[in-house]
Amino acid sequence: MTRKLWVGAEALAVALVLALLALLVWRVVNDSNQSVAQALDKGKHPVAPAFDLKRLSGDGSVDLASMRGRTPIVLDFWASWCLPCIHESKRLQAAMGRYGSRVAFLGVNTKDYGPDARTWQRRHGITYPSVHDGDGKVLSRWGGLPIPKIFFIDRRGKVVGQLVVEEDLPRYLRQIAQS
């Protein structure tokens, strides 16, 4: 390779690296789309981001925005490969027995294989409906991994909290059931 060609290739490589670095910096500076979890950490109560996902059972889909104004919601992000999800989903299943007439419970199976998820639900006795977020795009908008992630949405569609400690479940359930 001639020296002139070699210098040109190096210059092109440096220019490409600088362009990618500039794009990264621009994206970080201009990315105002914070997740729901980040907003809650800052003391804000954002409107629940809308999604329309197919039911895990295969019967239609669930449009979260269409539920706004009708009923408070407990939103449970889970996967069949997630061991802590078993405990939390069973707690929600039990809570549904007490609050099911006043609060809707909705699972979001994420980054998972649908047949494994359906088997997992049957094995653990989880009867509240779930939708499938196979690629995890909805999970990313809400805060990303790790899971389980459980959010509490009031009747107006505002996210009032996220389960952090076990005591949050009864506290937030009482709060949204009264909204």
Q: Within this chain, do residues 98 and 171 fall inside the same structural domain, yes or no? A: yes
Would you say 55 and 131 are in contact if contact means Cβ atoms under 8 Å apart? yes
Q: Within this chain, do residues 109 and 148 fall inside the same structural domain, yes or no? A: yes
Q: Within this chain, do residues 25 and 94 fall inside the same structural domain, yes or no? A: no
Q: Within this chain, do residues 65 and 82 fall inside the same structural domain, yes or no? A: yes
Q: Within this chain, do residues 49 and 21 fall inside the same structural domain, yes or no? A: no
Q: What is the pLDDT of residue 6?
A: 78
Pair of tokens at residue 99: 């609050």
Per-residue model confidence as pLDDT tens digits over 119-132:
999 999 999 999 99
Q: What is the pLDDT of residue 40?
A: 95
Q: Which single residue is written with the structure tokens 């092109």?
A: 12
Q: Within this chain, do residues 12 and 60 fall inside the same structural domain, yes or no? A: no
Q: Annotate the chain with three-state secondary structure.
A: CCHHHHHHHHHHHHHHHHHHHHHHHHHHHHCCCCCHHHHHHCCCCCECCCCEEEECCCCCEEEHHHHCCCCCEEEEEECCCCHHHHHHHHHHHHHHHHHCCCCEEEEEEECCCHHHHHHHHHHHCCCCCEEEECCCHHHHHHCCCCCCEEEEECCCCEEEEECCCCCHHHHHHHHHHCC
pTM given for the model: 0.81
Per-residue model confidence as pLDDT tens digits over 28-57:
444 457 999 999 999 999 999 999 999 999
Total of domains in the chain: 2
Q: Which domain holds residue 21?
A: 1-32
Confidence of residue 8 (pLDDT cuts 50, 70, 90): confident
User: 52-54 and 61-63: which strand pairing?
Assistant: antiparallel
Using CA atoms, how far apart are residues 49 and 64, in angstroms rounded to an integer? 8
Q: Within this chain, do residues 80 and 20 fall inside the same structural domain, yes or no? A: no
Q: Within this chain, do residues 28 and 43 fall inside the same structural domain, yes or no? A: no
